[in-house]
Amino acid sequence: MRLLLALAIVGAPAVPATAGYWNYNDWHVSTDQIDTGEDLRVTCYAHTGGDGDPVWSLEVSNGDAGPPDFFPAPRLVEIAPSRHQTQMYDQQDITFEFDSGTTIQGIAEAHVNNEGFFQAESGPQYNSVVSMLIAMRRGNTVEALGDGEVIATASLAGFTAAYGKMMDECGFTLSMN
């Protein structure tokens, strides 16, 4: 529950001054800005992995609701090389195991993406988002397991700073009260 207090919003979302890219140990933050003609939408991402490995990511927009009503859900995204399948398959039970001993359950969703590649994603079940964020904040590593096999591993070094920067860049002020 301390994470709820640590992530509580003070004030409404505002447009950040600049877009960019930041590194925090093993985690990265990037922003995209789109002018809709009516307003400027900013989408902020925190992520790690890639370069052929699955990507662990979170996403929030300055048009979204924020904490304490909504917390961006961590996602594991796997995109297979051409003519290959993903390790995760549709409706597969996924277990996120943290080095602290915490486990969070999720279910994979698989499909063919717009570029024609097989893609699968998994994140915590809706009622476990805050628990997963707390485990990510406290842990050093996380593994995703499907059918008892490790699908992906991630370092959590820099996660808390990246999460804070992502939320800040999309105009959500975090209180440490």
Q: For 84-88, what is the mean pLDDT? A: 94
Give every CB contact of residue 54 below 8 A, 6+ residues apart in sequence: 76, 77, 78, 144, 151, 152
Residue with tokens 């790690």: 48
**Domain segments of the chain: what residues?**
2-8+21-171
pLDDT digits (tens, 9 = 90+) for 21-54: 999 999 999 999 988 888 889 999 999 998 889 9
Other CB atoms within 10 Å distance of the CB of residue 161: 16
Q: For 119-140, what is the mean pLDDT? A: 96
Closest CA to 146 of 105, 177, 102, 100: 105
Measured distance CA(30)–CA(19) in Å, rounded: 8
Judged against a pLDDT cut of 50, whether residue 13 lies above it is answered with no
Judged against a pLDDT cut of 80, whether residue 5 lies above it is answered with no
Measured distance CA(171)–CA(125) in Å, rounded: 26
Output the pLDDT for position 167. Answer: 94
Q: For 82-108, what is the mean pLDDT? A: 96
Could you tell me which residue, 138 or 15, shows the higher pLDDT?
Answer: 138
Q: Report the CATH fold assignment for 2-8+21-171.
A: Immunoglobulin-like (2.60.40)
Measured distance CA(115)–CA(80) in Å, rounded: 11
Q: For 96-110, what is the mean pLDDT? A: 97
Output the pLDDT for position 174. Answer: 64
